[in-house]
Amino acid sequence: MARVLVTEKIAQPGLDELAAAGHEVDVQLGLSPEELLGAIVGAHALIIRSATTVTAEVLEAGTDLVVVGRAGIGLDNVDVARATELGVMVVNAPQSNIISAAEQAVALLLAQARNVPQAHVALVNGKWERSKWEGVELYGKTMGVIGLGRVGALFAQRALAFGMRLVAYDPFVSEDRARHMSVELMSLEDVMGCSDFISIHLPKNAETVGLIDAAMMAKAKPGIRIINTARGGIVVEADLADAIKAGHVQGAGLDVFEKEPTTESPLFGLDSVVVAPHLGASTAEAQDKAGATIAEQVQLALAGDFVPFAVNVAAGEVSEVVRPFMGLAEQLGRFLGGLVDGQASNLEITYNGEIAGSGTKILTLSVLKGLFGATSDDAVSYVNAPALAAERGLEIEESSSVTSHEYVNLITVSAGGHSVSGTLAGIGTRVEPRVVSVDDHSVEVPPSAHMLVVRNDDRPGMIGVVGQHLGAAGISISSMAVGPSHGGPTALMVLATDQDVPTAVADALAANDGIFDLHRINL
């Protein structure tokens, strides 16, 4: 099947799942950057955690690479931009460790507030220092949450249980959602200015690196305590150490650092700082979930299916209304690719019915994936389909209407003077795709691996001509639909055959009087 290179330890059930699916699981732990460049050659998938750096050079060396899977959340060790350019899908397991990460933030919050690690070290070293390690209660204090994503929201719930007042900074969260969480939204400066504690739950990117620096800490309420379990570098460690020494910041609890792994920091010698070596996801439960999730995502990617947690696929979340139409959309794209002669400059996609109001980005990607798969020798995926469209100057026009006159849902794709429409037909679990129109001729035929579209003179005997040629070549017709033209004396036959029609047979058939053109379609 496919070779899956695993460079860091993940839960064994995830590896077993990949092996059970028939993939070769190649575990090579502790590779140096140079060794990784050699090991990646011939691999179709790469599974990592946080220690492996997937550079542009690594991605370029992995010429067979389909997917990079990060068994965790953060992707700052993967060159996602270059992966996208190369058509390599990047996936993660964003929900695998959110509970563990939120609980780690709570653990550091409590440990910092009550000086638990410091008191422990003193006691085991023979010192009973009750007065030295006096702490503070959380009840009644103001907790500032910086980032109300999955982890931030879970942390806020837990902080609320301590009887804390919650304020937060997150420009992407609505007032209504914050109010529902019992959180008051503020600017970052205002959060810093009124909070007794802050807990950081932001991704690391160009906008957040160095966000909590000396200038921002100068705006903080005197005595503030800072918890960071998100990513190192969001808090400037040297500035934080200076602020603690000056007495403006009371203390900190840190699980992440600007450089990891590390055993040196200006914060390590300060009594009011509690630190841990990036343990946010280090629970048995989180590791099991991350391994299982990433195995599932990698399998989907290798199969060419849509991957829910792909970070470089511009589709957003896929609704249950839209999901069943993804295969149909890709088939319509491939069908259209077989009809169009040459390279089209414009692609029109129309969605009618319930799907029109359910988020169709993934359906458009599916159409592109099918279209380019039929007309290009390049490997086409949900990742690189938009880039291929841009490279070829293909303009894409989408239109939607919740009104559909003949069908509950209908997808129509048009390019190069041709069009094809399809829907799903059936009841319950017996729902199947149907091609219902080709070049404005009404037909109804299920998509098949091998199809033939014949435009002919609308006169008796033409169906027999086609059947005779195919029969003489030993080709069976699985299904067939005939659609007359609404505007002239032509008809269209759409046939599904048990095998691809050879070029010689297609040429002989096309040479018959009354047959105007013929297209072989391979889905």
Hey, what amino acid is at 220?
A
- Nearest partner of 290 among 509, 489, 47, 497, judged by Cα: 47
* Distance between CA atoms of residues 397 and 387, nearest Å: 16
The alpha carbon of residue 416 and the mean position of all alpha carbons in its chain are separated, in whole angstroms, by 32
* Distance between CA atoms of residues 68 and 88, nearest Å: 7
Q: Phi, psi at residue 384, to the nearest 5°?
A: -95, 0
* Distance between CA atoms of residues 156 and 160, nearest Å: 6
* Distance between CA atoms of residues 43 and 9, nearest Å: 17
* Distance between CA atoms of residues 472 and 455, nearest Å: 20
- Rg of the chain's alpha carbons, rounded to an integer? 30
- Nearest partner of 199 among 239, 237, 159, judged by Cα: 159
DSSP class of residue 344 equals -
Q: Would you list the DSSP string of 314-336?
A: TT----TTTGGGHHHHHHHHHHH
* Distance between CA atoms of residues 487 and 34, nearest Å: 66
Q: Phi, psi at residue 18, to the nearest 5°?
A: -65, -45
What tokens were used for 360? 């169709």
Whether the Cβ atoms of residue 41 and residue 316 lie closer than 8 Å to each other = no
C-alpha distances out from residue 144 to 203, 227, 274, Å: 17, 10, 19
The alpha carbon of residue 497 and the mean position of all alpha carbons in its chain are separated, in whole angstroms, by 37
What tokens were used for 207? 């906008």
Catalytic positions, written as ranges: 231, 260, 278
| Gap between the terminal Cα atoms of the chain | 21
Residue written as token pair 């009618």: 352
Buried-state track 110-146, b at ≥16 Cβ within 10 A, e below 16: ebbbbbbbbbeebeeeeeeeeeebeebebeebbbbbb
Whether the Cβ atoms of residue 370 and residue 422 lie closer than 8 Å to each other = no
What tokens were used for 301? 């990617």
* Distance between CA atoms of residues 31 and 464, nearest Å: 65
